[in-house]
Structure formats: C-alpha cells, structure tokens
Amino acid sequence: MTPDLLKQGAERVAEHAKQVAESTESGGRSAGYGRVLQDATQVDLTHGRILYLEDVSVSFDGFKAINNLSLDIAPGELRCIIGPNGAGKTTMMDIITGKTRPDQGRVFFGSTIDLLRHNEPQIAQLGIGRKFQKPTVFEQLSVFENLELALKTNKGVKASMFFKLDSAQSDRLAEVLHTIHLADSVGKPAGLLSHGQKQWLEIGMLLMQDPKLLLLDEPVAGMTDHETERTAELFLSLKGKHSLMVVEHDMSFIRTISDIVTVLCDGAVLAQGTLDQVQADERVIEVYLGR
C-alpha cells in the first residue's frame, strides 16, 4: 500500500465529509492500495523483459519463504501465477513492490532499474501498481470521484478543492469507466457497489495512472460467475497495453486468460508452461492440484 495516496485519499474524504457525510452512514472505512503516482522514469525494454528476478531468496525466522527464485515477464504479457498456500506468491509481490527486502538476488524493472534500490512509493512512481485481494476503495465517494482522485495530479487539500478536469483527463476517465464496466454507475457511491464492481473500480483507479506493470492478487475471489466472466474480459482487454501478473486459484478463470502459467512451490518455480502442460506435470499434481 502507498502511504502517500492513503493520506491524500483521507484528506479528500475529510473534505467530502464536510459536504455530504450527514446524508449517509454507509462506507467510511479507510482505503489504501498500491498506486502508481507518476511516470518518473522510462523503462528500458531493450532486452524484451519488463520484470526480471534472479536468484532471489528471503527468510523469516529461519523459514525460507523465497528460495533462489528466478522469473521474468515480457512487456504486454499476462502471466498467471498459481501454487499452494505458502508457496511464496504474496512474498514475491512484496519483494517486487518494495514491501519486503530479499536477503539475496536481483530484481529489475526493465533492463536498468534496480528495484532493490527503491522504496515502495518510488516503485509505485516508476509504474508498478498492485491490487490486493480485498478491494480498498473510498466508499463515501462516488465511482467518478474515486477515479478522479486517482489521477496524477497535485493531491493537496487546497489543490483538490479547486481542481477541474481538462478535456484529456475527462476523456481518459470516460475510457476507464467503459473499460471497467462501470459507465452506468458513475455517480453511485462506491460503498453501494457489489464486491466485483469494487474490484473493477480499484483496478480502474490503477489504470487512471497508466501503470506499466500490474500485480493482481486473487482478483476474482468472492465474485459471482458473471463478474468473473467480465473480469476475464477486462484482463484480456488490458493485455498488450500493460503487463499483468495475476495470482489466482480459480483454474477456469486461469484457463480463460492465460498464455503462460508459472507454478510456485516452496518459494521457487516448480513448473512453467501452458495450463494444460502444468496440469499434466506430476509434481504440480502432487503438491497442488491433487489426483
């Protein structure tokens, strides 16, 4: 989660509360999320990889959560990550986003940006957005206001009070609303959205900042079948425009969206290939899929 945007969102909610808090008792929980703050550095894709991990390891109290993990992702790729609980999937994302520092190894964004030299806010600024499993949106604000808040603008209270969208920003917001299937709910308070719609809204808030790489943790958990289908459509529409790393357990969803699937186990890559290939792997069957 990015502390800067959490603070900015809280300030915006406080200002909003002066005007409308008396009219509703729903929402009100604080929100935080891994947001892309600004495009501070161009990513060098000369070598055809947007993310590169090499021999990464980290231990917690003697337990090796990540064990010599090596992994790379191409620009525009949608990579699915599966594996049993405790395989290291979340810890891997923590390392990529700067939340956890590895004991050893290299983590590069493009060919030249060493992510281990940057902290969480800086990594967000570079163009890496993270979506956690539980949706965290500003429930007192409307869908429109949530997306507006996510724009790359001065988020100070005074600036926010007098901020007006320009035509390019309005067009971008309309485009994102269409992409995330919420154009018909633009004025609805986020707290009144369904679980799946809240997930889409948070993804939209990431998209407003045009991230180069999106990390998505179990995005369809708790969704209805219809919401899951729409989420698959959403991810496939983002593929090529952004690079995506999707951690998920829903095999039907994985089959719909995946080209390459990486299986993690005991903090390392156990298998990699198409879903059919990894599902036929005896090691994957033994430790994750079952017989």
Question: What is the residue-wise DSSP string for 33-66?
Answer: -B------S----TTS-SEEEEEEEEEETTEEEE
The per-residue pLDDT for range 110-143, each reduced to its tens digit, is 999 999 999 999 999 999 999 988 888 999 999 9
Beta bridge partners of 69: 56
pLDDT band at 76 (very low <50, low <70, confident <90, very high): very high
CB 261 within 8 A of CB 95: no
pTM (predicted TM-score) = 0.82
CA atoms of 92 and 79, how far apart (whole Å): 14
Residue with token string 């600024």 = 125
Burial of 197 (0-12, 13-18, 19+ CB in 10 A): buried
| pLDDT for 156 | 54
Across the range 223-229, mean pLDDT stands at: 96
Among the residue ranges 48-57, 149-158, 261-270, the one predicted with the least confidence is: 149-158
Q: Is 29 left (phi over 0), alpha (psi -120 to 50) or beta?
A: beta
Mean pLDDT of the chain: 86
Across the range 46-50, mean pLDDT stands at: 94
Residues 6 or more apart whose Cβ sits within 8 Å of residue 114: 106, 107, 108
Q: At what angle do helices 167-179 and 195-207 cross, to 10 degrees?
A: 140
